[in-house]
Amino acid sequence: DSDDEKHDEL
């Protein structure tokens, strides 16, 4: 979901 995709960035 949209929460996870931001956490894949550094």
Min dist CB 1 to another protein, Å, is 10
- Residues near another protein (CB under 8 A), total: 8
By three-state DSSP, how is residue 1 classified? coil
By three-state DSSP, how is residue 8 classified? coil
Q: Which residue has the tokens 């929460």?
A: 3
Judged by CB under 8 A, the chain residues 1 through 10 that form the site for another protein are 2-3, 5-10
Helices (H) and strands (E) in the chain, counts: 1, 0
Min dist CB 8 to another protein, Å, is 5
Contact residues for another protein (CB under 8 A)?
Answer: 2-3, 5-10
